[in-house]
């Protein structure tokens, strides 16, 4: 698929691949078992520019375009899916809202730190009762004497225990319904911003996912992001980029599983010949690589549209839907090719299979993607 990439995009992809294979893949299983991503690895990603990939150079970022971004996330995910989850959230919904809606003072204060990895971002939208129904928030923010006082709780916050900065969504004007939600920039060391326990997850276990409680969390009035009542628009506008990132992550996980299966099929001998020589196994591998390439083309198409500033909600949803469901099937087939060994944690395909499942859930479930695609019809 190299023919579709520019020299610059290929250079970004190759740098991500080199880093992933040398610094991530050899340790991913260990990090998965321990449930933590080392700080020095995150710092290294910042130094290499992977945490500022949607931020222009004037704000300290390494923006090329969204195709390069998707290609980089794919490679990072192939090395460590948890690392890709951290990277995708930090870029798309950590840096993105401030880049798109922040005023000059907010950009000056936060964007450089975010783009270089000195600050890690989190996105606090989901609540225990409000997942896909993003506008059904109970967290409230009241303006008192020049400060916003926020009370409520958030669930499933990626980077929740690691982040220094959070984009928090809260109801400021209940009588206005969906137009009564606002967005805020909240440093996580603010009194009243409390990190809950780390969730024990099925996959992407090294990516920290937490609940957050906001108890009279008080920030200056100037920490309002965008206009009052613009919160839902801010949340939804950054989901296109988020879905492209998660779709690319799904492809990376599936690619790693496919490569493991192909290598195993070449080496494993059954009935006197390598598995790959058996037509049933060869057909499985042929389907796997075909679906991988189809998903990649769809993701890169969505990425090109976003780079050009063209509407891509439906295409991004299609990319996320197809890539995430493809990833589970490819990882399942990779595990099947390994036979009983694939079910053991000694083999990477077991982890890939667990990691792939979440891509059909976060940044909008498959059911929500189908709903959004259907609305465009």
Hey, is 2 helix, strand or coil? Answer: helix
259 among known catalytic residues:
no
What is the enclosing helix (H) or strand (E) of 121? strand 121-124
d(CA 313, CA 305): 10
Secondary-structure percent of the chain, ordered helix, strand, coil, rounded to 5: 60, 15, 25
d(CA 238, CA 100): 9
Residue 301 near residue 321 (C-beta atoms within 8 A): no
d(CA 206, CA 213): 22
Residue partners of 151: CB distance under 8 A and separation at least 6: 139, 140, 141, 214, 215, 216, 217
Q: How many distinct helices (H) and strands (E) make up the chain?
A: 14, 10
Two structure tokens written together for 88: 């995708």
The CA-based angle 119-99-170, given to 5 degrees, is 80
Residue 191 near residue 118 (C-beta atoms within 8 A): no
Q: By C-alpha distance, which of 300, 366, 364, 301 is closest to 327?
A: 366
| Given the residues 58, 328, 363, 367, the one annotated as active site | 363
Residue partners of 16: CB distance under 8 A and separation at least 6: 50, 71, 72, 73, 74, 75, 76
Return the active site residues: 363
């Amino acid at each position: 698929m190299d023919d579709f990439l520019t020299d610059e995009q290929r250079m970004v992809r190759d740098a991500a691949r080199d880093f992933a294979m040398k610094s991530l893949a050899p340790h991913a299983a260990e990090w998965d078992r321990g449930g933590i991503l080392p700080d020095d690895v995150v710092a290294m990603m910042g130094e290499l520019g992977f945490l500022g990939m949607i931020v222009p150079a004037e704000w300290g970022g390494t923006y090329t375009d969204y195709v390069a971004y998707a290609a980089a996330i794919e490679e990072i995910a192939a090395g460590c899916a948890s690392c890709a989850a951290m990277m995708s959230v930090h870029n798309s919904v950590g840096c993105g809202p401030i880049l798109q809606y922040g005023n000059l003072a907010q950009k000056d204060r936060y964007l450089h730190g975010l783009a270089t990895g000195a600050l890690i971002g989190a996105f606090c939208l989901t609540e225990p009762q409000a997942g896909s129904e993003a506008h059904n928030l109970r967290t409230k923010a009241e303006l008192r004497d020049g400060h916003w006082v926020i009370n409520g709780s958030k669930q499933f916050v990626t980077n929740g225990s690691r982040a220094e900065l959070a984009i928090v969504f809260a109801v400021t004007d209940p009588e206005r319904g969906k137009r009564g939600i606002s967005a805020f920039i909240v440093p996580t060391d603010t009194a009243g911003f409390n990190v809950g326990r780390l969730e024990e997850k099925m996959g992407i276990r090294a990516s920290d996912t937490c609940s957050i409680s906001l108890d009279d969390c008080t920030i200056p009035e100037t920490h309002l992001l965008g206009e009052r009542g613009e919160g839902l628009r801010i949340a939804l506008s950054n989901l296109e980029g988020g879905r492209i990132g998660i779709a690319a992550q799904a492809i990376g996980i599936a690619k790693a599983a496919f490569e493991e299966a192909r290598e195993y099929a070449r080496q494993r001998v059954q009935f006197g010949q390598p598995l790959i020589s058996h037509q049933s196994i060869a057909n499985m591998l042929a389907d796997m690589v075909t679906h991988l390439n189809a998903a990649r083309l769809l993701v890169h198409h969505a990425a090109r549209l976003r780079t050009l500033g063209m509407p891509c909600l439906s295409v991004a949803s299609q990319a996320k839907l197809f890539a995430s469901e493809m990833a589970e099937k490819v990882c399942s087939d990779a595990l099947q090719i390994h036979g009983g060994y694939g079910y053991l944690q000694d083999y990477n395909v077991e982890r890939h299979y667990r990691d792939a499942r979440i891509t059909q859930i976060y940044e909008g479930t498959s059911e929500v993607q189908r709903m959004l695609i259907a609305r465009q019809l």
